Amino acid sequence: MSAYLTLARKAFRRTLTYRAAFWTELAINLLFMVLYVYLWRALLGDADGAAGYDRAAIMSYVVVAQTVMTIQFTVRATWEIERKVRSGAIVMELLRPIDFQAATIATACGPGLHTFLFNMLPKLALFGLAGVLSAPPSAPAAVLFVVAALLGFLVQVGLEILVGLSAFWLVEIRGLHMFIAWGFGALFSGFFAPLEIYPDWLASIGRVLPFQAVVYTPSAIWSGRLAGGDALAAVAVQLAWAFILVAAGRSMLALARRRLVSQGG
Amino acid sequence: MNVARSPYVALAWAFIRSRASYRASFIARSIALACADLTSILLIGIVIVRFGSLAGWGWPALALLYALSQISYAVARCVSVPLDHFDELIVSGDLDGVLTRPTRPLFHILAGGVELMNVGRIAVGITVLVVAGRAAGVRASAGNVALVVASVAGGACILFAMTWMVASLSFWTTRTGKLQDIVQSSSRAFAEYPLVIYPASIRFVLTWLVPVALVTYFPARRLLGLPGGDSPLAFAALPAGALLLGAAALLWRRGLRRYQSTGS
């Protein structure tokens, strides 16, 4: 266990040294959050709300969604695996007496924690002070939000590991990554609009995909749209996805091991 | 000078051929890029189905904004990609090698990364433009076509000039790769929505400083015959692009003159 903690701690420290990357990320996030706040104000116009969200809830959703999705930019598990497969360093990784998948998740926790502390919290505070973001409706909702955000993080890392491992079979995974992360993922994660806003048929596609677990579920819980039994059910779905993705990652890794031929040298 | 025989074309052609040798990868990435770009217009479509309009702008009108932004961006990206990481040439000292070549340094750098993958994105933009233009009842008159071509050309110049300017800053600050990300991703996103949704300060920036609204909002208003469509700013994209290119060229030249190698 301590090996994984050390990996997470080292990854956290490493993130601290990439200051330019940190400030860039924050600047881009803030610009987009400002853009989306104005966009949603204009969309709502004089309306009291939409699709079961009142005005305050929808603005909270937009701010929280934009905040939660930041991990998609700062956790780079896909590229770390891809780089190791390409260079062959993956052989050394697999020889180590620790579990590769667990090590990758632990390593992702480093930048994840950094993003949470220095990027997400300040943004939430800033938009809270600006009066755009409202607090979660209740203490249990706040707790459930934290759980949902953590599970969303796990689902995100699980997805990234799968895409990264596909490098064992595909020489070039940038296209696949782009399609999953920015095409399909962006369409169904709910980062732009809550799934309730979508036409029913499209929302029902989104609800059977894992991407909603990353952004939509935590944001809808914070804004109060998902509450009580619905919220618990949504968290259970996240848990199921986390389990499925981790299991899929393990089997994929087992297959990859069989494929792996090292040139030595 | 015979352009077809110029060293730029020869170098660019060599690069394109080397890229095309990984054909499956090239095709897959072109399609993935184009699909990923479609996401933003699909998301706009989804919220418009629910809300009807964005500050009075309905579906075809918003798609027109998207198309103008998309085509300009994709055209600029065909050539501007090598400038994204120009700072690394300075830090590594590889710029010295470029300066000793008998071509213009800028052309030499650009020739090393012509990204034809963006042709798929241009195709997406043109398709949306045609579909949206028809749906919005924009006549394909010579004047309208000229306005679209001029706006897109101006937009490509504006976006290229901004990338070029940020790259030139590397002569003074050495690290600019991150700044490129900020300028490129946000200018493109802000250009996809009608200017009226922003407060005055942002409207000012998007019209006069990072003038992407000249590429999308003002021409689209004229094409759609909306109130205020007769604003002369509808024709401002090309002059603004020329102006920014000139400014970028000046900055670049000053930087080159100032450049001292980092040594080995």
What's residue A142's pLDDT? 96
| Ramachandran assignment for A99, one of left (phi > 0), alpha (psi -120 to 50 degrees), beta (any other) | beta
8 Å CB contact between A103 and A250: no
| pLDDT grade for B185, boundaries at 50, 70 and 90 | confident
pLDDT tens for B63-81 read 999 999 999 999 999 999 9
**Are the Cβ atoms of A24 and B179 closer than 8 angstroms?**
yes
Q: Where are the alpha helices (DSSP H) in chain B?
A: 7-20, 23-51, 59-84, 86-92, 95-99, 105-111, 118-135, 142-168, 170-173, 177-191, 200-204, 217-224, 237-258
8 Å CB contact between A41 and A137: no
Rounded mean pLDDT of B50-59? Answer: 92
Which neighbouring-strand residues pair with A54? Answer: A49
pLDDT tens for B78-105 read 999 999 889 888 888 888 888 888 778 8
Rounded mean pLDDT of B41-65? Answer: 93
| pLDDT grade for A97, boundaries at 50, 70 and 90 | confident
Task: Tell me the nearest-neighbour CA distance from B52 into chain A, angstroms.
Answer: 9
Of A31, A45, A175, the CB nearest to B29: A175
Q: Return the closest-CA partner of residue B11 out of B95, B114, B135, B154.
A: B114
| pLDDT grade for B263, boundaries at 50, 70 and 90 | low
- Report the percent of chain B where pLDDT is more than 90: 57
Find the residue in A nearest to B179 (Cα).
A24
**Residue B237: pLDDT above 90?**
yes
Task: Tell me the nearest-neighbour CA distance from B63 into chain A, angstroms.
Answer: 15
What's residue B43's pLDDT? 93
Q: Which residue has the higher pLDDT, B156 or B6?
A: B156
> Strand, coil or helix: what is B81?
helix
**Are the Cβ atoms of B54 and A42 closer than 8 angstroms?**
yes
SS (H, E, C) B48-62: HHHHCCECCECHHHH
- ipTM for the predicted complex comes to 0.87
**Are the Cβ atoms of B54 and A43 closer than 8 angstroms?**
yes
| pLDDT grade for A15, boundaries at 50, 70 and 90 | confident
Chain B environment of A45 (Cβ under 8 Å):
51, 55
Sign of CA dihedral A204, A205, A211, A215: negative
pLDDT tens for B186-216 read 889 999 999 999 999 999 999 999 999 999 9
**Residue B4: pLDDT above 70?**
no
Distance CA A65, CA A69 (A): 6
Which two structure tokens, joined as six digits, stand for A103?
A: 């090590």
Find the residue in A nearest to B35 (Cα).
A183
Rounded mean pLDDT of A232-254? Answer: 96
Task: Tell me the nearest-neighbour CA distance from B186 into chain A, angstroms.
Answer: 7
Distance CA A222, CA A129 (A): 17
Q: What is the mean pLDDT of chain A?
A: 90
**Are the Cβ atoms of A28 and B185 closer than 8 angstroms?**
yes
What's residue B5's pLDDT? 63
Q: What is the mean pLDDT of chain B?
A: 89
8 Å CB contact between B255 and B172: yes
Task: Tell me the nearest-neighbour CA distance from B27 into chain A, angstroms.
Answer: 9
**Are the Cβ atoms of A176 and B199 closer than 8 angstroms?**
no
Distance CA A89, CA B16 (A): 30
Q: Return the closest-CA partner of residue B211 out of B235, B230, B227, B187.
A: B187
**Residue A203: pLDDT above 80?**
yes
**Are the Cβ atoms of B36 and A183 closer than 8 angstroms?**
yes
> Strand, coil or helix: what is A71?
helix
| pLDDT grade for B174, boundaries at 50, 70 and 90 | low
Q: Return the closest-CA partner of residue B88 out of B98, B78, B79.
A: B98
**Residue B107: pLDDT above 80?**
yes
| pLDDT grade for A177, boundaries at 50, 70 and 90 | confident
| pLDDT grade for A76, boundaries at 50, 70 and 90 | confident
Q: Which residues have a Cβ under 8 Å from the Cβ of A212 and sit 6 or more positions away?
A: A188, A189, A190, A195, A206
| pLDDT grade for B251, boundaries at 50, 70 and 90 | very high
